[in-house]
Amino acid sequence: MKKKIMSIFGTRPEAIKMAPVVKELENRDEFESVVVITAQQREMLDQVLEVFEIIPDYDLDIMQPNQTLSELTSRVLVKLDPILAKEQPDVILVHGDTTTSFVASLGAFYHQISIGHVEAGLRTWDKYAPFPEEMNRQMTDCLSDLYFAPTELSKKNLLTSNIKEEKIIVTGNTVVDALSETTLHGFNHPVMEEMNPASKKVLLTCHRRENFGEPMKQIFTSVIEMVKKYKELEVIYPVHPNPNVKAQATEMFKNIERIHLVEPMDVIDFHNCMKESYFIMSDSGGIQEEAPSLGKPVLVLREVTERPEGLETGILKLVGTKTETILAAVDELMTNKEYYQSLTKQDNPYGDGQASKRIADALGDYLKK
């Protein structure tokens, strides 16, 4: 009899990173793949599902404007419960550190269903950074039965958390699998019509809860100062639809030349825009893992990162959220050519494009036991 694997996800980054896993499960006769989306992020999730042609079996459709973490938590738990009871999967798969991932794990635990955690073991060991993601992933790891750690360092973090070694499989990050498909295309976004073809593109994203308010103000100020100083730079900023982000971005970047605010891009556009950028400024998690495959330096707009592997190779630079420090890092990229070029030719420490296969193999082994 086929083993039933239920993949549960709800946000854009989870969908991008789970798409290659869902495809791999669908291609193997031994598994029945069931996809449940919480739609914690309605529009941004749908964009990804369309690109990867994933048709969910269940859609909880829970997103509300400016949702609080508690509301989100309770809606996921209550709406998922009857589906778990009815489907009784052999394993559920969750990804990373979102509220969907943690709460789906909690729901599965209440039904005594095995939990596989994809992208397990990332840590800052700082309860409030990133918030609430650090505790979401620690709590998900607490509840899981099978751990797909992207790197040796994430495995080490799990061992430190007293997880038994035989439950951990180092797979690489599935985002590298996704990139091999999305980057086959070119970048043809309408924003190109507003831009000087000779300019150097800087891609900006910013959405973390702990950056709301003053840190985001300092980040945006540094971007404004940067384009004033370096006339050859143009910034493309796909603005996250969170009202806390959107309000601040539209207010601060109003009428500033060479800063282009656009709607969230679909993942094919976004990855190809990364490919054409001179460098990237971001507080995103996933972008830190994608940039090394494309040889693009990232100024990481955070105080800490759970992805230190890229700091060691230099392709990521943790610049914090203070205007002065961010601008100093921009100056280094813009004035030191040798340094810039040394960053752009590197292997990706986060994966080799085979993670989904390793995950499917490991699930097969686990379910034979």
Instruction: Name which of 220 and 270 has its Cβ closer to ligand UDP.
Output: 270
Pick out residues in 109-148 that bind ligand UDP (CB under 6 A).
none
- The nearest distance, CB 104 to ligand UD1, in angstroms, is 11
Nearest Cα residue to 260 out of 215, 216, 223, 225: 223
Strand ordering across the sheet containing 114-118: 58-59, 31-37, 3-9, 91-95, 114-118, 146-149, 168-170
Q: How far is CA 259 from CA 62, 237, 297, 304, 315, in A?
A: 33, 7, 19, 26, 24
Give the active site residue among 28, 42, 111, 209: 209
- The nearest distance, CB 92 to ligand UD1, in angstroms, is 17
Report, in angstroms and rounded to the nearest whole number, the Rg of the chain calculated over CA atoms: 20
- The nearest distance, CB 205 to ligand UDP, in angstroms, is 5
- The nearest distance, CB 300 to ligand UDP, in angstroms, is 11
Rounded Cα distance between 313 and 175, Å, is 19
> From the list ligand UD1, ligand UDP, none, which binds 42 (C-beta under 5 to 8 Å, kind-based)?
ligand UD1
Q: Which amino acid is at 151?
A: T
Instruction: Name which of 40 and 222 has its Cβ closer to ligand UDP.
Output: 40
Extended beta strands in the chain, E state: 3-9, 31-37, 58-59, 91-95, 114-118, 146-149, 168-170, 200-205, 233-238, 259-262, 279-282, 298-300, 316-318
Pick out residues in 306-345 that bind ligand UDP (CB under 6 A).
none
Nearest Cα residue to 171 out of 368, 362, 366, 367: 362
* Widest distance between CA atoms in the chain: 64
> From the list ligand UD1, ligand UDP, none, which binds 270 (C-beta under 5 to 8 Å, kind-based)?
ligand UDP
> From the list ligand UD1, ligand UDP, none, which binds 209 (C-beta under 5 to 8 Å, kind-based)?
ligand UD1
Give the active site residue among 119, 266, 306, 309: 119
Binding flag, residue 287, ligand UDP (CB under 6 A): yes
- The nearest distance, CB 175 to ligand UDP, in angstroms, is 6
Binding site for ligand UD1 (CB under 6 A): 11-13, 40-44, 63-67, 72, 97-99, 132-133, 207, 209, 241-243
- The nearest distance, CB 365 to ligand UD1, in angstroms, is 30
> From the list ligand UD1, ligand UDP, none, which binds 160 (C-beta under 5 to 8 Å, kind-based)?
none
Residue 239 DSSP code? -
At residue 65, φ and ψ (nearest 5 deg) are -60, 135
Q: State the pairing for strand pair 279-282/298-300.
A: parallel
Catalytic residue status for 152: no
Catalytic residue status for 97: yes
Quick one: which H or E segment has residue 366? helix 355-368
Instruction: Name which of 67 and 342 has its Cβ closer to ligand UD1.
Output: 67
Instruction: Name which of 134 and 177 has its Cβ closer to ligand UD1.
Output: 134
> From the list ligand UD1, ligand UDP, none, which binds 287 (C-beta under 5 to 8 Å, kind-based)?
ligand UDP
Catalytic residue status for 240: yes
Give the active site residue among 14, 133, 266, 290: 133
> Is residue 118 within 8 Å of residue 95, measured between CB atoms?
yes
> Is residue 158 within 8 Å of residue 142, measured between CB atoms?
no
Stretch that binds ligand UDP, among 11-19, 305-313, 334-342, 357-365 (CB under 6 A): 11-19
Binding flag, residue 12, ligand UDP (CB under 6 A): yes
Give the active site residue among 240, 258, 260, 307: 240
Rounded Cα distance between 313 and 83, Å, is 44
Q: Which amino acid is at 349?
A: P
Catalytic residue status for 119: yes
- The nearest distance, CB 86 to ligand UDP, in angstroms, is 30
Catalytic residue ranges: 97, 119, 133, 207, 209, 240
Q: Which residues bind ligand UDP (CB under 6 A)?
A: 12-13, 16, 175, 205, 207, 238, 264-265, 267, 270-271, 284-287, 290
